[in-house]
Structure 1
Amino acid sequence: MRIAVTGSIATDHLMVFPGRFTDQLIDGELERVSLSFLADRLEIRHGGVGANIAFGLGRLGTRPILVGAAGLDFAEYGSRLREAGVDTEAVRVSESLHTARFVCTTDTDQNQIATFYAGAMAEAVRINLEDAHWRTGGLDLVLIGADDPQAMLRHTASAHGLGIPVAADPSQQLARLSGDQTRALVEGATWLFTNAYEAALLQERTGWSEADVLARVSTWIVTRGADGISLLSRDVPRRDIPAVTTDAAADPTGVGDAFRAGFLAGLARRLPPERAAQLGCALATVALESVGTQEYKLLATDLLARIDRVYGSTAARDIEPCLAGVS
């Protein structure tokens, strides 16, 4: 299965605040917030939702096509992605702008405050998805990840026009998308990804109920953090998949991207959605235990042990062939 991942390519600046954000908030004063948090750790890492998902897919042996815009400083990052098994031919490199920046501070409760600078991402709308489709001999699935909103809309329309199944993943961009834009991104998707908060925001933006959403997509995957994920479909009862637990959580940034990579890799290997979700949950926990969205170490034996512990030996046996070649 040839999967194209469209979405942001960024450099992450990740900081840790050794306290609780909520302790600094005063009831009745939230209309005028002026706060400064003294971080005690800074990590500068490669990131961006499109690149994160593509990286995970590449590490799992599914050679994805990354579709996005990067800046003048992309050479080293691009080489790293290619080493991980990512096709970067469809990445547009700006002649004047730097790669996008994600600046995020995490507190001791794993709450986060973040700012995103678009930079070269603004040029993503100039990318023609059809070029990647014909160059690769035909795409089988296109994930529409958080990106320049006009690029997201263009890629969605192109995929539908070419008859390619779409996985809609608006995530962080829901905050700035209009109702019409959100409806256009979701309508007709084969897969829809949101977290629990984004699920409510999506319904507010579109004016659709849960049933309305499910009348327009085949399967809605809702991630719920430590509570696992839910698979929602119009004709199938809700399926809840527990998370793979850990006592070594280090950084929640990019955990959702890792889940998507594992889930899509499972689909590419013809796993049923429940098994694909279990692989996604295992990879998400591996990412959670690392600082940085692409710094996790991947071992097939480790993933299978986690899957066996939480989902049982049958699940591990079913998923094991998907991890051939992962060392």
Structure 2
Amino acid sequence: MSVLICGSLAYDNIMVFPERFKDHILPDKTHMINVAFLVPELHRNFGGTAGNIAYNLQQLGGEPLPMATVGPDFDEYARHLERLDINQDYVRCLGDHWTAQAYITTDLDDNQITAFHPGAMNEAHCQPVPEDRDIAFGIVSPDGKQAMLDHSEQFREAGIPHIFDPGQGLPLFSGDELKRMIENADWLAVNSYEWEMLKKKTGWAHEDITSRLSGGLVITLGGDGSELWTGDGKTHIPAVKPAKITDPTGCGDAYRAGLLFGLERGWDPADACRLGSVIGALKIAESGPQNHDFTPEEVAERFESEFDRPLPQ
């Protein structure tokens, strides 16, 4: 069955700064910051949360349905999705907006500075969650603010289980708005930085959130793995060591694809998180969010070698 991925489709312009940001930013001058970073490496990639999650989910053998709004400059990306055989039924082109664009600079410590032009993404609320499609699971990932609010409500009304993944869109929402979207969802997925921000905005701790979710809370910790919080308590999921560390862009989306794949199939949630760790490790070894290749067979072998248990069926 299909997984509806509400989120962005964007062009990612990824630049590598071969030094460390901290060596060029004066802490006592941040109120008047004026810094230029020379970036000899520039890569333009297909990205956006909906595209990245769909890319990984398709390679796993899932049935992703990305839902996003784009501009007339989307043709190259559309051909990319066609080559991957990813369904574009809910990719809507708006003639008077550009496709979203991200400008991401990464330093030697894998810190990132991102500028993002939303473009057509800001009109994503024009598409509602379809009720006439065989959708087994969904995700509300970073998108236009109104779209995230609307899609959260629509998933709940349609009775479609889903993950709420506020991501870099988290600062857009008030504490009350975040609470409502959490209560609508079955799962909440955040990274460690987003978790601290979410706690501050909502005033909710782990137990407050897990008591409101039928599934649970997943907090990714980068190289320290991830945490799965459910009504039964906390489970630590170890990180999978990558072949090399090249580019962290899109690692969170890769993890969420593995999580969605397992949850849609009714796996033990810890195994779904373990699969997310495997896919994240495969992604970070390659530059860009959609340039890593793998087969389901390769993933199953890696999963068993890392966790000493077979990949669930």
- TM-score, normalised by the number of residues in structure 2: 0.95
Displacement after TM superposition at 1:124 (Å): 0.4
Quick check: 140-149 or 200-209, which moved more? 200-209
Aligned to 1:35: 35
Give me the whole-angstrom Cα distance separating, in 1, the residues matched to 2:93 and 2:249.
25
> 2:11 touches 2:46 (CA, 8 Å); kept in 1?
yes
Aligned to 2:305: 309
Give me the whole-angstrom Cα distance separating, in 1, the residues matched to 2:291 and 2:120.
23
1:140 correspondence with 2:120? no
Aligned to 2:218: 221
Aligned to 2:69: 69
Give me the whole-angstrom Cα distance separating, in 2, the residues matched to 1:160 and 1:269.
19
Give me the whole-angstrom Cα distance separating, in 1, the residues matched to 2:224 and 2:141.
23
Displacement after TM superposition at 1:303 (Å): 2.4
Aligned to 1:115: 115
Q: 1:110-158 CA deviation, whole Å, 9 max, x = no partner?
A: 000001100111110111213xx30x2x322220000001000111111
Which of 234, 242, 249 does residue 245 from structure 2 map onto?
Answer: 249
- TM-score, normalised by the number of residues in structure 1: 0.91
5+ long unaligned stretches in structure 2: none
> 1:69 touches 1:93 (CA, 8 Å); kept in 2?
yes
Give the AA of the match of 1:88.
Answer: Q
Give me the whole-angstrom Cα distance separating, in 2, the residues matched to 1:33 and 1:100.
26
Note the aligned Cα RMSD (angstroms).
1.5
Q: 1:143-184 CA deviation, whole Å, 9 max, x = no partner?
A: 000000100011111111111112100110012222222122
Give me the whole-angstrom Cα distance separating, in 2, the residues matched to 1:61 and 1:247.
23
Aligned to 1:106: 106
The alignment of Structure 1 onto Structure 2 pairs a total of residues equal to 312
5+ long unaligned stretches in structure 1: 322-327
Change in Cα spacing, 1:7 to 1:221, as seen in structure 2 (3 Å) is same
Give me the whole-angstrom Cα distance separating, in 2, the residues matched to 1:204 and 1:97.
34
**Percent identity among equivalent residues?**
34
Which of 224, 229, 232 does residue 229 from structure 2 map onto?
Answer: 232
The list of structure 1 runs, each at least 4 consecutive aligned residues, that deviate by more than 4 angstroms after superposition, is none
Give me the whole-angstrom Cα distance separating, in 2, the residues matched to 1:84 and 1:140.
21
Give me the whole-angstrom Cα distance separating, in 2, the residues matched to 1:196 and 1:240.
13
> 2:122 touches 2:145 (CA, 8 Å); kept in 1?
no
1:289 correspondence with 2:282? no
Give me the whole-angstrom Cα distance separating, in 1, the residues matched to 2:31 and 2:172.
20
Q: 1:225-279 CA deviation, whole Å, 9 max, x = no partner?
A: 001111001x212111101012511000000000001111122333211111111
> 2:227 touches 2:236 (CA, 8 Å); kept in 1?
yes
Give me the whole-angstrom Cα distance separating, in 2, the residues matched to 1:85 and 1:227.
34
Q: 1:73-128 CA deviation, whole Å, 9 max, x = no partner?
A: 22231232233242211111111111100100000010000011001111101112
